[in-house]
């Protein structure tokens, strides 16, 4: 369970998060939707402890993470796996070395590491690419290797930063299926931030809409579709005319 309470964050005097309140229950897929610059990435980076808030609290399984010391934070981070927008694979390492990286730090025996590398690549549908370098992979493959690297650690919570951005609709759908598969087969809690409406409605158990640093609506995909909030409606219909003005 993740509880976010009154989270505030500013950069150079510009408010990015302006009192975010959100609860994510175990095992669900929570999609956080919002336009560009709404603060989605900043929010997800707070959940994993990459950023410290100006004000507010985040509880992960009843551990308040914003006030943890560095050493303790590294222990909590082990609960998470994160899939980055651009995959963030280490480009000086092979696919295998990328996946091994986190596993070696867990102090696992070599045969277990070997097994997990193979298993996680199979789970994302890319067996046998261990020796390739990230530069030899396509955008979609990179994202899947990023996912393999995250699930190899057997996290309780998976965070996805724009998992379908930058891949074609067919590959985006295969990523959606992977996200659902990870939930079903591993039972992980998933937090996905995206502005891809199709993907959001396909995978979400619940959707939260982030706008100007606040959660303005939260509910099941059905509830969001029928929301009376004009900002939500403008967003899901993808209209440039409406309460949100594009300058």
Partner 1 sequence: MLEIERFPLIARFFWRMGRGVADLGEISILVANVFKKIFTKPFEKKVFFAQLMEIGNRSLPVVSLTSLFTGMVLALQTIIGMKRFGGEMYVGSVVGISLTKELIPVLTGLMIAGRVGSAMAAEIGTMKVTEQIDALFTLGADPIKYLVVPRFLSAIIMVPILTAYGDAIGLIGGKFVSVQLMGINPVLFDEFLLLYTEWWDVTSGLIKSIFFGGIIAIIGCYKGLKTEGGAEGVGKSTTSAVVVSSILILIADFFIAKILPFSMKR
Q: Which residues bind partner 1 (CB under 8 A)?
A: 12-14, 45, 48-50, 70, 74, 77-78, 80-82, 84-86, 88-91, 101-102, 105-106, 149-150, 153
Helix (H, G, I), strand (E, B) or coil at 189: strand
Measured from the CB of residue 13, what is the shortest distance to partner 1 in angstroms?
7
Measured from the CB of residue 11, what is the shortest distance to partner 1 in angstroms?
9
- Crossing angle (nearest 10°) for helices 169-186 and 139-151: 10
Comparing CB distances to partner 1, the nearer of 62 and 71 is 71
Comparing CB distances to partner 1, the nearer of 77 and 207 is 77
Measured from the CB of residue 64, what is the shortest distance to partner 1 in angstroms?
19
Burial class (CB in 10 A: 0-12, 13-18, 19+), 60: buried
CB of 241 closer than 8 Å to CB of 228: no
Backbone angles phi, psi at 62, to 5 degrees: 70, 5
Measured from the CB of residue 10, what is the shortest distance to partner 1 in angstroms?
12
Comparing CB distances to partner 1, the nearer of 59 and 101 is 101
Sequence-ordered list of residues with C-beta below 8 angstroms from that of 237, at least 6 positions apart, any chain: none
Comparing CB distances to partner 1, the nearer of 45 and 202 is 45
Q: Which two tokens stand for residue 27?
A: 């095992």
């Amino acid at each position: 369970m993740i509880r976010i309470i009154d989270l505030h964050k500013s950069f150079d005097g510009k408010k990015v998060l302006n009192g975010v309140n959100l609860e994510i229950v175990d095992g669900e897929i929570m999609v956080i939707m919002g336009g560009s610059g709404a603060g989605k990435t900043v929010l997800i980076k707070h959940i994993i402890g990459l950023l410290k808030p100006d004000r507010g609290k985040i509880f992960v399984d009843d551990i308040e993470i914003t006030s943890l010391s560095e050493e303790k934070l590294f222990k909590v981070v082990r609960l998470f796996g994160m899939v980055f927008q651009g995959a963030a694979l280490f480009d000086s390492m092979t696919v295998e070395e990328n996946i091994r990286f986190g596993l070696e730090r867990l102090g696992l025996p070599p045969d277990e590491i070997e097994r997990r590398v193979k298993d996680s690549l199979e789970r994302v549908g890319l067996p046998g690419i261990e020796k390739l370098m990230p530069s030899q992979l396509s955008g979609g493959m990179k994202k899947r290797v990023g996912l393999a690297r995250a699930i190899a650690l057997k996290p309780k919570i998976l965070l996805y930063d724009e998992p379908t951005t930058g891949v074609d609709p067919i590959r985006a759908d295969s990523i959606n299926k992977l996200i659902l598969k990870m939930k079903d087969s591993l039972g992980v809690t998933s937090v996905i931030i995206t502005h891809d409406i199709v993907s959001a409605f396909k995978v979400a158990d619940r959707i939260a809409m982030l706008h100007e640093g606040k959660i303005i609506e939260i509910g099941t995909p059905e509830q969001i579709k029928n929301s009376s909030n004009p900002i939500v409606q403008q967003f899901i219909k993808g209209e440039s005319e409406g309460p949100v003005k594009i300058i």
